[in-house]
Amino acid sequence: MAKRRWSSALTTMRTPSAILMASLWALSTLAPAQQHTKPWVALDYRDPLTVQAGSAIYADECAVCHGRSLEGQSNWRRRDSHGYLPAPPHDETGHTWHHSDQVLFEMVKYGPKVVAGEDYKTRMPAYWGILSDPEILVVLSFIKSSWPERIIKMHDEQANRSQ
């Protein structure tokens, strides 16, 4: 069973860093926290290969809405006439860094409804079935790597400790 999951995780990988992602995946499944309902999550934003792989996934999957330079869409704080929010920036001007690694992972995997409730209207896709867990961690690691040191520090000391 574990073996099948391993090989299907590998075949969904599209970047040269498959081994790296596989090890991230292995870590996330082997960690003791796996017994709990929430997976163990931590972003490897200092690792150049992870960041490079994440940048490629970001360009393919996220840039169309969140912007090539993580700048988001214009007027991202204002809902449009259909009641939807535009995509927020992922740089320091947005609020991505206000959320812990765990919450970010869940928002990307299951969509913002996971925090905002089932009825929430959003254009942010849930990436479950599109990106593997390691790919989600890798793309979020890339986003975190782009933040200035002082924002990374606040993210580690405030968002990640309060979860």
| Three-state SS at 105 | helix
What is the total count of residues that contact ligand HEC (CB under 6 A)?
Answer: 23
Is 96 in contact with 152 (CB distance < 8 Å)? no
Q: Give the span between the Cα atoms of 121 and 133, in whole angstroms.
A: 24
Span from 12-20, 29-37, 40-48, 123-131 in contact with ligand HEC (CB under 6 A): 123-131
Q: Give the span between the Cα atoms of 39 and 86, in whole angstroms.
A: 29
Span from 12-20, 25-33, 44-52, 83-91 in contact with ligand HEC (CB under 6 A): 83-91
**Under the criterion CB under 6 A, does residue 134 sit at the interface with ligand HEC?**
no
**Under the criterion CB under 6 A, does residue 87 sit at the interface with ligand HEC?**
yes
Q: Please identify which residue in 108, 137, 138, 152 interacts with ligand HEC, judged by CB under 6 A.
A: 108
Alpha helices in 58-132 (DSSP H): 63-66, 101-110, 113-116
| Three-state SS at 51 | helix
Structure-block tokens of residue 64: 């169309």
Task: Kindly give the interhelix angle for 2-11 and 18-30, rounded to the nearest 10 degrees.
Answer: 150
Q: Show the site string, 5-44: x = touches ligand HEC by CB under 6 A, - = not.
A: ----------------------------------------
**Under the criterion CB under 6 A, does residue 139 sit at the interface with ligand HEC?**
yes
**Smallest distance from the beta carbon of 74 to ligand HEC, in angstroms?**
13
Residue with Cβ nearer ligand HEC (7 or 158): 158
| Three-state SS at 131 | strand
**Under the criterion CB under 6 A, does residue 61 sit at the interface with ligand HEC?**
yes
